[in-house]
Amino acid sequence: MAYQSLARRQPAAEIRGSAATQTSHAAALLSIPPATGTKPGAGGGGRATPGGSMPPRSAAPFQRKDNLMTNCVDLFDIWGAEKALQRDKPLEAVRFNGQEVAGLLFTSTTVLAKLHYNDEPEARGYVHCNSEGCVLCRLGRTAEEKALLPVYLPVQDTIGVIAISPTSRPGALRPQLLPLLRSGKRLVVFIKKADRMTFQVGSKEVDPTVYQCDRLIEDFERRLEAGEIDLTSVYPRLSNDALAKVPGIATMLLLKGVKVGAGNQG
C-alpha cells in the first residue's frame, strides 16, 4: 500500500533544477582566484599597513565589497548540487553501525531475498544465495531470508533499503516496525542497532511542512510498480565460481572436498 504524499512546499524537481542551473554559476565563482590583500572579515579593511599604500578613502568601501563578492558563494549552490546528485545515486542498503538512522516510512511493499553473510574480507557482507547448487549452502552456511523495505532517508535525502529478518523475538526489527507500518501514519522511525541482535526503534509523526520529498517518493513508487527498480540490487550477486575464488571460501571448499563446477552449481 502507498501512503499519501507529504505537503508540496517545493517540488523536488524544482529544487534539483535550480541546483543544477546554479552549479555552473557557483563553479564560475569558485574558479575566480581569491583576491589578494586584505581578507574580508579580518577587521579594519581600510586600515593602513606598515609600508603599504593606503587606497584613496573614497574607494575603500567599494573595493572591500568587491573582494567579498569574489569570495562568496551561496551554500545552496555548492551543497545543493551535492544533494541533487544523491537523488540519482544507486539504491543502497541502510547500514546500522551503531549510529541512529532516521527513515521515513512510506510503503509496506517489500521484496524477500535469501542472503548469506560473508565474513571474508574480500567479500564481506551479505550476498545473494545462488539457490540450487549454491556454494555457500553447500558449505553448510545458512541463508537468511530478509524482507527488503524501502524508506526515505531525510538526512541523506535519498531512498534506502532496510533488511528485516523474519524473526519476531523481542528487540528484532520486525515486531517493532510492523505496528508502525500498520498504523498508516506518516512516521519517521529512528533505528539504532544496540548490539548484534537488538534494535532500538523510536518513532515520531512527521510534520508535513518539514519535508520536501514528495516527488522523490512518488517517482520511486511509480518506478517500483513498473518494475524499473530492483530492491534486491542493494546486495551483490556473485556466481558460484566467483564465490569459490574468495580465499577463505576456497579453503573451506578444499577442506570439505566440495567441488565447484562439477555439474552441481546454480
Binding site for Zn ion (CB under 5 A): 129, 134, 136-137, 143
Query: Which of 122, 145 has the CB closer to Zn ion?
Result: 145
CA 164 to CA 144: how far, in whole Å?
A: 10
CB of 114 to Zn ion, least distance (A): 7
Angle at 140 between CA 136 and CA 146, to 5 degrees: 65
Nearer to Zn ion, 85 or 242 (CB): 242
Q: List, in sequence order, every residue forming a beta bridge with 149; answer none if it has no partner.
A: 162
Residue 206 corresponds to which amino acid?
Answer: V
Own/partner contacts of 24-30, CB < 8 Å, gap of 24 or more, are 25/77, 26/73, 26/74, 26/77, 26/78, 26/81, 29/70, 29/72, 29/73, 29/77, 30/73, 30/78
What is the nearest approach in angstroms of Zn ion to the Cβ of residue 129?
3
Q: Which is nearer to Zn ion, 88 or 132 (CB)?
A: 132
Comparison of 185 and 237: residue with beta carbon closer to Zn ion: 237
144/218 with CB nearer Zn ion: 144
Number of helices (H), then strands (E), belonging to the chain: the values are 8, 8
In angstroms, give the least distance from the CB of 180 to Zn ion: 31
In the complex, least distance from residue 239 CB atom to Zn ion, rounded to whole angstroms: 12
Give the 3-state DSSP-derived string for 101-117, with helices as H, strands as E and coil as C.
Answer: EEEECCECCCEEEEEEE
- Amino acid sitting at position 118: N
The least distance separating Zn ion from the CB of residue 3, rounded to whole angstroms, comes to 35
Query: Look-up: residue for cell 524508506?
Result: 151
Residue 129 or 238: the one with the smaller Cβ distance to Zn ion is 129
Q: What is the DSSP letter of 2?
A: B
Q: How far apart are CB 162 and Zn ion at their closest, in Å?
A: 22
| Closer CB to Zn ion, 102 or 111, in the complex | 111
Ramachandran angles phi, psi of 167, nearest 5°: -65, 145
Cβ-contact 118, 125 below 8 angstroms: yes
Least distance CB 238 / Zn ion (angstroms): 11
